């Protein structure tokens, strides 16, 4: 089912691009389809991972790697997730857990998760994700390597995590029979740095008022691009976005009247088809100019100290450490992008993200940014109550409007 889905997606996108209907989003989606195909091909050495795993390092070792939540999001976007969530109900996996993780577990029960060669868990961002990786390792009788991501970037912590990543490379090598080629790694990290620099440009362009992007264009971008880091495709995608946004700004093709409100989207988007983004743009002229995870929080990786650079990057993800780090980052984004408000989809079951709802609220209020907390399950469309969301959004927009006046 998934192989067919990704193959069809790739074919459709490729045909559209070949027919002259290319867009940055299509190039991005094409790469997702290709990754999906590789994951389900049965040919590749696959690693199921945590979100902050060093995917470029794994790419350098010829391992097709992906964080498990990607599959939950894919199942949600295809509208099939309900069946898989029900599977987890049957085995007593509480519906209080994160639906990303329940969906993945359901997919594994139904035989829809490709058998990995190995698994790489990460302690950041959450306990639930790590637990699911342990379960998958148990189910597939495969080995799991755990990266303990320390809480801050002290010299000792960086050295500790860099050491773990070196051990991880040895672990991967032992299980795949592929050694890490230092020259290949340097090339891969070169691509990482190149993509990083261009992505930073993309995010900078998004700060322009009116913003050159539409509400959908950069959804899930930062978190998914991590999977492509180290590849030429990541550079191509980032370039396409940069060039398109630059063109729109240069040609004044964005009507300022269509951007009455500028919004910050906290954490992840809602993954199933829903009318919120369209409602915001069409009914309220509200543009999501920045997503929390669409930011570069790490320095270019020094090719003479690659593992230390990778370690710093994993530690720098705003979900890591105390909530003060995360709030500080959100405040920075709110000010840099000059937002009027923020939307926080409080994914039911997300302890690390949603758990801090009140603290985030307080932190953004301190810089004059109101927050709309939406009680939602970002994966399970069956729980989506559109009418209530419309009412809440309408009230939020009215409040932002009166504040502007």
Partner 1 sequence: MGKSNFIGFACAYTPLALVHAAGFTPCRVLPNVDCPDQAAQLLHDNLCPHVKRILDRAMSGNLPELEGMIFMNSCDAMRRLYDAWQIVRPDVKTIFVDLPVTASESAVAFFRDELQRVAGILETWGGTAITREKVADSIQQYNQLAESFGRLRHTVQNGGVANGPVMLQEACNMASCEVPEKAVGYLETLLAKPGIQPQEDGVPIYLFGNILPEPEAFSLFEACGARVIGEDLCTGSRLFKKIAGDTSGGTCGDILLDLAEGILSGQPCARTFDGSQPGRLARDIVAEARSRNVRGVIGYTVKFCDPYIARLPGIREALKKEGIPFLFLEGDCTMRSVEQQKTRIEAFIEMLR
**DSSP state at residue 132:** H
Q: Which parts of 298-337 interact with partner 1 (CB under 8 A)? A: 322-324
Quick check: 351 binds partner 1 (CB under 8 A)? yes
Nearest to 48 by CA among 125, 175, 133: 133
From candidates 92, 251, 255, 304, binder to partner 1 by CB under 8 A: 92
Choose between 120 and 213: whose C-beta lies nearer to partner 1. 120
Binder among 355, 386, 394, 403 for partner 1 (CB under 8 A): 355
Torsion sign (Cα): 334, 336, 338, 343: negative
Specify the residue, 69 or 340, whose C-beta has the smaller distance to partner 1.
69
Distance CA 247, CA 220 (A): 23
266 lies in the binding site for partner 1 (CB under 8 A): no
Using CB under 8 A, pick the residue from 41, 80, 115, 143 that binds partner 1. Answer: 143
Q: Does 342 bind partner 1 (CB under 8 A)?
A: no
Within a 10 A sphere around the Cβ of 109, how many other Cβ atoms?
Answer: 16
Q: Is 131 in the site for partner 1 (CB under 8 A)?
A: yes
Among 233, 356, 369, 376, binds partner 1 (CB under 8 A): 356
Alpha-helical segments (H) within 263-356:
276-278, 284, 306-316, 323-336
Beta carbon nearer to partner 1, 194 or 377? 377
**Residue span binding partner 1 (CB under 8 A) among the ranges 43-51, 67-75, 115-123, 172-180:** 115-123
Q: Is 93 in the site for partner 1 (CB under 8 A)?
A: yes
Q: Which is nearer to partner 1, 195 or 310 (CB)?
A: 310
**Interacting residue with partner 1 among 5, 6, 100, 145 (CB under 8 A):** 145
- The stretch among 38-46, 157-165, 217-225, 328-336 that binds partner 1 (CB under 8 A) is 157-165
Non-local (6+) Cβ contacts of 104 within 8 A are 68, 69, 71, 72, 113, 132, 136
The two tokens of residue 104 are: 């993945």
Q: Does 176 bind partner 1 (CB under 8 A)?
A: no
Token pair in block for residue 175: 């299980």
* Partners of 138 in the β-ladder: none
**Tokens of residue 101, six digits:** 């993780």
**Euclidean distance between CA atoms 40 and 8, whole angstroms:** 13
- Dist. CA 160–CA 147, nearest whole Å: 10
| Nearest distance from C-beta of residue 362 to partner 1, angstroms | 7
Using the CB atoms, write b or e for 187-219: b if 16+ within 10 Å.
ebbebbbbbbebbebbbebbebebbbbbbebbb
Q: Report d(CA 222, CA 51) in Å as an integer.
A: 12
Interface with partner 1, residue 175, by CB under 8 A: no
Asked if 193 touches partner 1 (CB under 8 A), the answer is no
For residue 370, give the nearest of 332, 328, 339 by alpha carbon.
Answer: 339
Query: Is the separation of the CB atoms in 126 and 98 below 8 Å?
Result: yes
Nearest to 75 by CA among 305, 336, 322, 379: 379
279 binds partner 1 (CB under 8 A): no
Nearest to 335 by CA among 286, 290, 287, 277: 290
Q: Which is nearer to partner 1, 24 or 125 (CB)?
A: 125
Residue whose structure tokens are 């994951």: 39
6 touching partner 1, by CB under 8 A: no
Min CB(327)–partner 1 separation in Å: 9
CB of 107 to partner 1, least distance (A): 14
Contact region with partner 1 (CB under 8 A), list: 77-85, 88-96, 222-230, 273-281: 88-96
> Which CB, 114 or 129, lies closer to partner 1?
129
Under rule CB under 8 A, residue 383 binds partner 1? no
For residues 49 and 66, the answer to whether their CB atoms sit within 8 Å is: yes
Among 195, 238, 350, 374, binds partner 1 (CB under 8 A): 350
Contacts with partner 1 by CB under 8 A lie at 88, 91-94, 96-98, 101, 105, 119, 121, 123, 126-128, 130-132, 134-135, 137-138, 143-146, 148, 150-151, 156, 160, 163-164, 167, 322-324, 346, 348-352, 354-359, 362
């Amino acid at each position: 089912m998934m192989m067919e889905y990704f193959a069809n997606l790739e074919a459709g996108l490729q045909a559209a691009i070949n027919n002259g209907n290319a867009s940055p989003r299509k190039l991005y989606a094409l790469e997702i389809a290709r990754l999906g195909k590789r994951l389900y091909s049965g040919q590749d050495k696959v690693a199921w991972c945590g979100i902050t795993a060093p995917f470029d390092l794994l790419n350098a070792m010829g391992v097709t790697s992906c964080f498990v939540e990607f599959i939950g999001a894919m199942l949600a976007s295809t509208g099939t997730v309900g069946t898989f969530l029900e599977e987890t109900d049957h085995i007593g996996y509480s519906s209080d857990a994160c639906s990303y993780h329940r969906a993945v577990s359901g997919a594994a029960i139904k035989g829809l998760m490709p058998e990995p060669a190995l698994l790489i868990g990460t302690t950041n961002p959450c306990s639930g994700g790590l637990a699911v990786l342990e379960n998958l390792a148990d189910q597939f009788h495969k080995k799991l390597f755990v990266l303990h991501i320390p809480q801050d970037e002290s010299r000792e912590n960086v050295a500790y995590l860099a050491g773990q990543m070196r051990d991880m490379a040895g672990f991967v090598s032992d299980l795949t029979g592929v050694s890490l080629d230092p020259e290949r790694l340097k090339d891969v990290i070169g691509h990482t740095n190149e993509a990083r620099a261009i992505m930073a440009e993309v995010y900078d362009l998004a700060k322009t008022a009116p913003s050159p992007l539409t509400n959908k264009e950069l959804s899930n971008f930062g978190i998914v691009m991590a999977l492509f880091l180290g590849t030429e495709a990541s550079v191509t995608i980032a370039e396409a976005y940069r060039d398109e946004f630059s063109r729109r700004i240069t040609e004044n093709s964005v009507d300022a009247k269509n951007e009455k409100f500028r919004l910050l989207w906290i954490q992840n988007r809602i993954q199933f088809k829903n009318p919120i983004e369209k409602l915001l743009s069409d009914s309220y002229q509200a543009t999501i100019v920045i997503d929390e995870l669409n930011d570069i929080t790490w320095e270019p990786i020094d090719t003479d100290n690659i593992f230390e650079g990778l370690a710093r990057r994993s530690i720098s993800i705003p979900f890591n450490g105390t909530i003060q780090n995360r709030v500080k980052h959100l405040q920075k984004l709110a000010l840099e992008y000059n937002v009027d408000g923020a939307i926080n989809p409080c994914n039911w079951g997300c302890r690390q993200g949603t758990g801090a709802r009140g603290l985030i609220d307080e932190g953004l209020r301190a810089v004059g940014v109101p927050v709309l907390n939406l009680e939602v399950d970002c994966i399970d469309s069956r729980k989506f109550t559109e009418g209530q969301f419309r009412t809440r959004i309408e009230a939020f927009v009215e409040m932002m409007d009166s504040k502007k006046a």
